[in-house]
A and B are shown apart, each in its own frame.
Chain A
Amino acid sequence: MSTIKKVPQYCYQCVAGPDFLTVKVEDGVATEIEPNFALADVHPGGGKSCVKAYGLVQKTYNPNRLLTPMKRTNPKKGRDEDPGFVRISWDEALGMVGGKLKEIQAKGLHDPLGYARVAASFGGGGTPTYYMGTFPAFLSAWGAVDFSFGSGQGVKCTHSEHLYGELWHRGFTVAADTPTTNYILSFGGNPEASAGVMGITRHADARARGAKRVQIEPHLSVTGACSAEWVPIRPKTDPAFMYGLIHAMLHEMPRERLDIEFLTNHTGSPYLVAPNGYFLRDLVSHKPLMWDLKRGAAVPFDTPDIEPALEGSFTASGIEIGADDEEWQHEEIEVDTAFSLLVKQMAEYTPEWAEEICQVPDGCIRRIADEFVSHAQVGDTIEIDGEILPLRPVAVILGKTVNNGWGGYECCWGRTLLACLVGALEVPGGTLGTTVRLNRPATTRQASVIGGPDGFMQYPMNATDKENWQEAPTARNAHSTLVPLSANSPWSQALGPTHLAWMFRKESPENWPAVSAPDLWFVYRTNPAISFWDTKAITERIAEFPFIVSFCYIPDETNYMADVLLPECTDFESTQLIRVGGTKFIESFWDHEGVALRQPAIKPLGETRDFTDIATELAARAGILDKYNNAINRGAAGVPLRGGNYDFSLDIEQSHGAEQIWDAMCRAASAELTDGAETDGLDWYKEHGIRTRPISRLIWYLFPELRKKGLRFEMPYQEQLYRVGKQLGNRLHEKGIEWWNEQLKEYEPLPPWKDFPGIWEQATVNSGGALEDYPFWLLTSRSMQLAWGSNSSIQMIDEVAKNMHGHRAVVMNTGRAAEMGIADGDLVEIKSTLRSTKGRVALKQGIRPDTILIQGQFDHWVTPFSKDNPAPSMNTVVPMSLALTDSTGSSADIVRVAVHRLEGKA
């Protein structure tokens, strides 16, 4: 008699999760993934998960899995050094790691250079946290950990959007209010590949009800495919397109078509700007001044009963405060409002000007500007849960390579400004932030709205003043020192210029301290040896690390360098309770909040162990069990075990099994969500999967919170950034550091257009290439099947991904290829000035003739299955350099390349 059960689970392999599913288990064997329709009313994705979750059955039973702990026997590390892994017992493996931890404790948690001796890298935008059980509590108990060795951050993520998004509207990422919007301008945004089940459902609904999306990107992505219009723009010229739109809106349309009320009362547009570029401030209170049309005088911004002038030049007096408290007193000087300066600055950026740069007809730019404003419904309102809010159903979204690297600042600024001009920022139908990671408290976006002295939201910049600037970096990527915007939250290290940690490991630039290798490096669900830029160099750096501990699933290119392999239970073999609901990373907006359980559906394979048990054992062996248990008790692994009317905290002196820990967590979560009324434990969650409670949709929008607190959006004029940049420049120059000067130039209050493609062209020339020899732009694009999850080694995922054009291939314009004598399926070499990669050509009409595209990160040379299915990888050919690093510490997946046909087939 066979037994069949369906076990509720969550999938959080990518940042668009979590999604829900059930695993069908027949006679103890996991056989099928199915949606969990029991949770359809709670989950914005209808209880469904995307294609990646369906790879988890093969992931579980992959015959290449590492099922016992192993240790390295070859002390030499490198791509050409066989690690000689041999099986060892868990006791020996944990003993090795515990011994190393003890040794570090004895030496001190920081090395002589001031860096943490223990480093840890996790991939997937933080999603490994949802699979590592109580390991966060272990790290918290340990104390000093350096998270700044990145595995793709900055170049592979929407980096500038994270930083500027958090600054302007608490948007770690930014999305459209898709269920309400009618018009979306998407600059390379790729929600159909990366916004997960929730995003795809929302956008499909929007299309079906007639919402228009215009996709502006050099190749026709799946998102472009699903859009009403595709505008093939020249790579990295998106700011020029946006400036053309802004020009058309400011200079070619009647002003009343814009949202004057929003600009005047909810942004910094009326602030007066003094001659040195800083706000004109009140002499006594130092508050920024606005021109009050009622009084005919300049008054502090928070003066009651005023009628601020949105634009114009006025004669006023006050004080101007610059960098490092430099002050200028002004008497009766002519000052413009910030908005007027914006109007002046945008005067030259006509659609005709933009056409020259973007290679998009000026008529197209004007039409889109008109459509955008027409759809904005300026003046309309909507009621949500009793609150009247502006209804502005137009949104702007940005994609990777647009919103990171040089030009990222301008794109993010242009995006938010476009929303402000029609009052469509953080209101129903408009452009919304999703969640916060840098601002604190991070419980909700609303909670992070704290008023600052100038009437904007306070932002936790890293200090740049003389007294508080962190002169010697404590994290190897130096985010606190070089990137004020990266703030100082637990996420900041991983959101800093993470490639600098790798680059400076090899060679520190002038007047910069050396960067040491960590004594111990933990890696989990990440593979920087293939996933970063210039992966060859990254691999060489990894090989220099003396002691690497990999929590692993199969052999890969990074754990090839490991000293100890600790095989953990995979997704369906271990237990974890996570928070769900509210608003999350990527276009994930819920009407509920609560917790969800992941649970063992099958018995763990081999000797694999639940990550929680590994963490507990490591804590015990490192002698920090009490601190670890304390960390769990205070919520470091998800839910605090103690609340106002409940206490399920663990005995801190004892080791507790995973079931016991998660049972306590479940009970605490039940109590928290029901104000103590329920205390259901693990067994209840195993049956039901989740517990949630409804929340108001008002939390999707930040505008109500700002309105309530009398705060303005810090747009369009970036006085704060301007000052911070000047101060940072002063600090660096005092130390004799000149290599960050180009980055310092980015701190402009109203960012002008710069020749962004030219930066990459110049990099090609500087590295010895003649531009005409490298005529193509090489770009990449996410795919739903392969982005995140390290699932290129999953046969079924690879098989279904093949249904999409361009999988494991080089996508090239059909006409351009014909001119070069290249046919579909031909083997080509893609060569940058750094090195080359090769792959089969997939011809498409939907790509610019000057652009080629490689999807995925397929530089595998260890990972089973992946290494046997050759494919090109842009990571091999993208150079990593300071010149290609912007002031936020990010770059973009783009490089100039040559294409040559090779004989034979791939």
Chain B
Amino acid sequence: MTRYVMIADLRRCVGCQTCTAACKHANATPPGVQWRQVLDMETGTYPQVQRTFVPVGCMHCADPPCESVCPSTATKIRDDGIVEIDYDLCIGCGYCAVACPYQARHIVHKRDLAYDKQAMAHEEARFDEGRMSVAMKCNFCQSRIDTAKQTGQTPGVDPEVTPACVNSCIADALHFGDRDDPNSNVSVLLAENQTFRMHEELGTDPGFYYIWDKNE
């Protein structure tokens, strides 16, 4: 089996938002919609304060609440673990959005432009009516993953078949790969480091891990 997962090394992330921007480019998301986002989280009380930069987005859960609630089957779990949305099936009911405990889903009903004046050439070229009023979210750049099946390349290793956010990360904090392959880059990272997953107590079995230290 294959389970694609993402790993964010919190020791390395600097909150630069390059992944956020790269995702916006790769997926042509409208203003205000960020499938990938890096949170700036402060913990503690002065002067014992920590500040942590936390990449978030769809966690591609193995037991995704968004999928089970979806009335139209627009949201599906692929065999490789990617949680995808069929924009042609989605009715935009928003149930998945309230079911997702990671705030990862977005529905846009009105076309927004970066500058109110007019659509820029690249906005015009990449506007997709099919994504209006339906649920959208990170799909691990699934078309790249699908390409890998044809080219024989390895997602997470070969840039052409790796999610844009991972490619763009200038701190090498983001990693992607097959958790079910014991020799994959992500399996090695998971074996060598201590990790947690967000809101693990909710039982969604997220496919997004956070490294916080190497193994003791």
Contact = CB atoms under 8 A, between A and B. Distances in A.
Interface of A: 26-27, 29-35, 37, 45-46, 48-51, 54-55, 57-58, 61-64, 192, 197, 200-201, 204-205, 207-208, 220, 222, 224-226, 230, 232, 784-785, 795-797, 799-801, 803-805, 813-815, 844-849, 864-865
Interface string B143-181: 000000000000000010000100111111100000000
Contact of A54 (B21, B34, B44, B125): B21
Nearest to B16: A784
Contact of A225 (B20, B24, B26, B52): B52
A1 to B, nearest CB: 15
B188 to A, nearest CB: 14
A37 B17 CA distance: 19
Nearest to B9: A208
B25 interface: yes
A50 B16 contact: yes
Contacts of B173: 204
Contacts of B44: 845
Interface string B100-124: 0000000000000011011011110
Interface stretch (B35-43, B77-85, B88-96): B35-43
B49 A220 contact: yes
A64 B51 contact: no
A572 to B, nearest CB: 11
A200 B26 contact: no
Contact of B25 (A31, A45, A224, A226): A31
A interface: dominant SS: mixed
Nearest to B124: A29
A201 B172 contact: yes
Contact of B46 (A192, A849, A864): A849
A864 B117 CA distance: 11
A29 to B, nearest CB: 5
A803 B171 contact: no
11 contacts: A26-B125, A32-B25, A33-B21, A54-B24, A207-B12, A208-B11, A784-B15, A785-B17, A800-B34, A803-B34, A804-B40
A31 B122 contact: yes
A222 B14 contact: yes
Contact of B17 (A51, A57, A208, A815): A51
A226 B14 contact: yes
Given A51-B18, A225-B15, A846 B117 contact: no
Given A29-B125, A814-B46, A845-B45, A201 B120 contact: no
A803 B52 contact: no
Contacts of B21: 33, 51, 54-55, 796-797, 800
Contacts of B20: 51, 800, 803
Given A220-B51, A222-B14, A803-B38, A45 B170 contact: yes
Contacts of A45: 170
Contact of A34 (B118, B121, B164): B164
Contacts of A846: 42, 46, 49, 51
* Interface size, B (range): 35 or more
Nearest to A221: B51
Given A27-B125, A204-B172, A222-B14, A795 B114 contact: yes
Contacts of A208: 9, 11-12
Given A32-B26, A204-B14, A803-B40, 18 more contacts: A29-B125, A34-B164, A48-B169, A51-B20, A58-B114, A63-B117, A192-B16, A200-B171, A204-B12, A230-B49, A232-B46, A785-B17, A795-B114, A800-B17, A800-B24, A800-B34, A803-B17, A849-B46
Contacts of A33: 21-22, 25
A37 B18 CA distance: 16
Interface centre among B17, B38, B120, B167 (most CB of A within 10 A): B17
B203 interface: no
B46 A815 contact: yes
A64 B126 CA distance: 20
B20 to A, nearest CB: 5
B16 A224 contact: no
Contacts of B123: 61
A770 B11 CA distance: 45
A142 B184 CA distance: 61
B130 interface: no
A401 to B, nearest CB: 20
A865 B15 CA distance: 24
Contacts of A795: 31, 114-115
B210 interface: no
A204 B170 CA distance: 9
Interface centre among B11, B117, B122 (most CB of A within 10 A): B122
B53 interface: yes
A803 B168 contact: no
A694 to B, nearest CB: 23
Contacts of B32: 799
A865 B39 CA distance: 24
B50 interface: yes
List the 5 closest pairs (A to B, CB-CB), nearest first: A225-B51, A54-B21, A61-B120, A795-B114, A204-B12
Contacts of A64: 115, 117
B12 to A, nearest CB: 4
A849 B45 CA distance: 12
Nearest to B120: A61
B168 A48 contact: yes
Contacts of B9: 208
B114 to A, nearest CB: 4
A569 B31 CA distance: 26
A45 B16 CA distance: 14
Nearest to B44: A845
Interface in B48-75: 49-53
Contact of B167 (A30, A34, A192): A34
A63 B46 contact: no
A33 B16 CA distance: 16
Given A222-B14, A805-B42, A35 B168 contact: yes
B17 A784 contact: yes
Contact of A200 (B14, B45, B167): B14
B45 A35 contact: no
Given A45-B170, A208-B12, A803-B17, A37 B159 contact: yes
Nearest to A45: B170
Contact of A804 (B15, B26, B164): B15
A197 B170 contact: yes
A517 B70 CA distance: 69
A208 B44 CA distance: 23
A799 to B, nearest CB: 6
A845 B46 contact: yes
A35 B18 CA distance: 11
B16 A35 contact: no
A37 B166 CA distance: 13
Contacts of B17: 51, 784-785, 800-801, 803-804
A35 B159 contact: yes
Contacts of A785: 16-17
A905 to B, nearest CB: 19
Nearest to A843: B42
A849 B46 CA distance: 9
Contacts of B167: 34-35, 37, 48
A61 B126 CA distance: 14
Nearest to B46: A845
A61 B118 CA distance: 10
Contacts of B172: 46, 201, 204-205
A310 to B, nearest CB: 39
B122 to A, nearest CB: 5
B58 to A, nearest CB: 17
Nearest to A205: B172
Nearest to B171: A204
A804 B51 CA distance: 11
A33 B125 CA distance: 15
A51 to B, nearest CB: 4
B163 to A, nearest CB: 12
Nearest to B43: A845
Nearest to B117: A63
